[in-house]
Amino acid sequence: MLQGKTIMITGASRGIGAAAAREFAKEGCNVVLLARSGDAIAELAGEIGEKALAVPCDISRYWEMEAAVQAAVDTFGALDVLINNAGVIEPVSHMLRADPEGWGQAIDINLKGVFNGMRAAGPVMVSQGGGTILTVSSGAAHGPTEAWSHYNASKAGAAMLTRCLDMENRADGIRAMGLSPGTVATQMQREIKASGINPVAQLDWSVHIPPEWPARALVWMCTPEADAHLGEELSLRDEGLRRRVGVIS
């Protein structure tokens, strides 16, 4: 069903992004890998093969995101799916002691980076007759967490961007949705664990799901089976969703 489609993934150097790249490649997709770590995405592209393109990119800079979209179109002839996955949790800090520059950098990546992706990819997709834009969200978008004001605020903003995109461009063929994966065994969770500062940091490692689960969910969300959820944020904590995407029986 997704054979031959071109998928762009931000934050593709590790974690959910890298797992998603592998899952989409298994479906016969072209994958465009974006991250600031050029070496890591180049290595992943080498693993996947000729259907992968590595594009070093700082998504907080619009012109870099725009150039990455153009590279995808130049290489594969189209852009069908954007996965807004890149995000940072550092610097973890109570708000009144937060470093303003670090706080702002987190907003630049987690919120502006999502907008930049939508703004750069959306018009290309509309010109093609449609496309899918998925954003990796978080439970942090919907309630405060101690020492995560930057993360809570940016994820809440990104969730609203998904709703705005759906409202404005569903009629143009844009399928916009969010995925809240729950806690995932990634480098970000190691950083959270090391901070020790709030209840999320106290969770036992065994409760975190593998990154392949949200990767499979993202693939499923690109199919017509997910059309009933356009404009919504899906939670992978939901056992029904886990069954539908095939990660549990």
- Going residue by residue through the chain (249 aa), what tens digit of pLDDT does each one get? 899 999 999 999 999 999 999 999 999 999 999 999 889 999 999 999 999 999 999 999 999 999 999 999 999 999 999 999 999 988 999 999 999 999 999 999 999 999 999 999 999 999 999 999 999 999 989 999 999 999 999 999 999 999 999 999 999 999 999 999 976 555 655 665 566 666 565 555 455 678 899 999 999 999 999 999 999 999 998 899 999 998 887
Could you tell me which of 142, 160, 154 has the C-alpha nearest to residue 104? 154
Q: 6-184+212-243 sits in which CATH class?
A: alpha beta
Half-sphere CA count of 227, side-chain side, radius 13 A: 6
1 burial via Cβ count (<10 Å: 0-12, 13-18, 19+): exposed
> Do the beta carbons of residue 2 and residue 28 sit within 8 Å?
yes
CA pair distance 110, 235, nearest whole angstrom: 19
CA angle 30, 22, 224 (to 5 degrees): 65
The structure's pTM equals 0.92
Hey, which residues are catalytic here?
151
CB atoms within 10 A of CB 79: 25
Q: What is the 3-state secondary structure (H, E, C) of 69-85?
A: HHHHHHHHCCCCEEEEC
CA pair distance 27, 49, nearest whole angstrom: 14
CA pair distance 224, 4, nearest whole angstrom: 16
Q: Could you state, in order of their start, the residue ranges of all structural domains in the chain?
A: 6-184+212-243
In total, the chain counts a number of residues equal to: 249
H-run or E-run covering 132 = strand 131-136
30-68 pLDDT per residue, tens: 999 999 988 999 999 999 999 999 999 999 999 999 999
